Structure 1
């Protein structure tokens, strides 16, 4: 059976997938997605980014979409109505931050209007072309309410983050879901939060199923999404460890080369 005869839903990650080297959606990709939207495909973007950060990026597509952010902790409808939200409890975050965390590691707590951090990180700031979601430098020891959408750690050394992840999970495995969105980005959400769980909620609303869906991703926070859909595509720029773990899935061209748009143009638009 040809892909276009069964696929009704297109799901894509943003960073490392739909966004190019400039952290924007290319004009070519916009045109392909506009053609798909006009043909009646349901478009869902599922990202680890905060919704205030992601909204201007997806708005550039030029049509309304379902937006899943913070790895599933927020779902916004095409009319921007908030459909679902779930936060990590303040005490859960405080118990993690009491651990002896390497001071070289950047800590970020994603709250509703700002993201609080223990240090300025130029690499993180470069991901935002429009500063809709501002950083706030804080001493976490003095913050009373740490209830947040997501907790995030970054460092150039992947092994340092793996070590930190393992230490956190010793006493917190039942509280958190976690993923490496990039090798240098370790993210923790409430245990109930996952991109695939959020996508399932949207599919139910739209009376669609994973069997009618195609998905694109490049990080371990995309793993369950890629496995759940009828067709899961991994970006060539994804970590080798993810490509090995999901070796049954096809690998396509990189985000820098409009890999998602090229695949969709050939396989769904027959261009």
Structure 2
């Protein structure tokens, strides 16, 4: 049983964590998070999604939350005020895109108001069915401005992405941070950007520390967040490689079984 006296902040990822496989938040989960708010817990949602995409999703929770998006490159207050913003410079990204990237791999730039990609990808589109954040297909060979919040690559063959990661890191060993948010999604951010870094900014602002937090996640972009929290919990649907890497952390039920909400209700709210 977690000490309710110690935990004051609840942190959760979205995809594979709060969201089910249909990319929706269940009514039960909404009810639990509203009760968290009623009991004065600070709530932080930290996601790799763009803020235009994520803002509508967290609004559906029906309670105020701090929102960390693009893996830490943006922070919005519960009043939707932009508190922190960081972009990767154009030249740094262009030098990556100048590499010989397998044309089968879908390439994406996260811009402020749209995302640019080299091809239509139905799998990606399914994650953003009602989003205001829309794609634009471009030819990256003719693109002039590469400045972006983050860039990433997706392919169903995980090994192709591993090979691409190694190729990029060989040329840019110290320029970027990176993570597999999903086995088929390889993301690159500036080396200063991480969910845990952004969360630390919020905690400082609200006069809390990581020891007072509980966090939930399912991807490698959640790793530092989970390790930093007073109590880090891994979703049952997370990759086995993440569970092995963080073997000291508890694994809970899956996102489709409302694992986050059930854990909070039983262990934190004592219902």
- Residues of 2 paired with 1:189 and 1:157: CA distance? 22
Paired residue for 1:32?
32
TM alignment of 1:71-90, pairs within 5 A: 71-90=71-90
Deviation at 1:226, TM superposition (A): 0.2
- Residues of 2 paired with 1:21 and 1:196: CA distance? 25
Deviation at 1:21, TM superposition (A): 1.6
Does residue 198 of the first structure (1) align with residue 198 of the second (2)? Answer: yes
Paired residue for 1:51?
51
- Residues of 2 paired with 1:126 and 1:3: CA distance? 39
Deviation at 1:179, TM superposition (A): 0.2
Normalized against structure 1, the TM-score is what? 0.99
Paired residue for 2:215?
215
Paired residue for 1:22?
22
Normalized against structure 2, the TM-score is what? 0.99
Paired residue for 1:132?
132
Paired residue for 1:251?
251
- Residues of 2 paired with 1:2 and 1:180: CA distance? 30
- Residues of 2 paired with 1:168 and 1:155: CA distance? 16
Deviation at 1:131, TM superposition (A): 2.7
- Residues of 2 paired with 1:248 and 1:118: CA distance? 40
Paired residue for 2:182?
182
Q: Secondary structure at the match of 2:104?
A: coil
Deviation at 1:141, TM superposition (A): 1.2
| Post-superposition CA distance 1:123-160 (Å, at most 9, x none) | 00000121310000000111111100010100001111
| Post-superposition CA distance 1:217-242 (Å, at most 9, x none) | 00000000000001000001000000
Paired residue for 1:109?
109
Matched residue count? 271
In structure 1, the gaps of 5 or more residues are none
- Residues of 2 paired with 1:182 and 1:21: CA distance? 13
Paired residue for 2:156?
156
| Post-superposition CA distance 1:77-124 (Å, at most 9, x none) | 111111101111100110001111000000000000000000000000
- Residues of 2 paired with 1:175 and 1:80: CA distance? 30
Aligned-pair Cα RMSD in Å: 0.8
CA contact (8 A) 2:180 2:187 kept: yes
Ranges of 4+ aligned residues in structure 1 off by more than 4 Å: none
Paired residue for 2:68?
68
Paired residue for 1:100?
100
Deviation at 1:214, TM superposition (A): 0.2
- Residues of 2 paired with 1:2 and 1:88: CA distance? 39
- Residues of 1 paired with 2:158 and 2:236: CA distance? 19
- Residues of 2 paired with 1:64 and 1:38: CA distance? 10
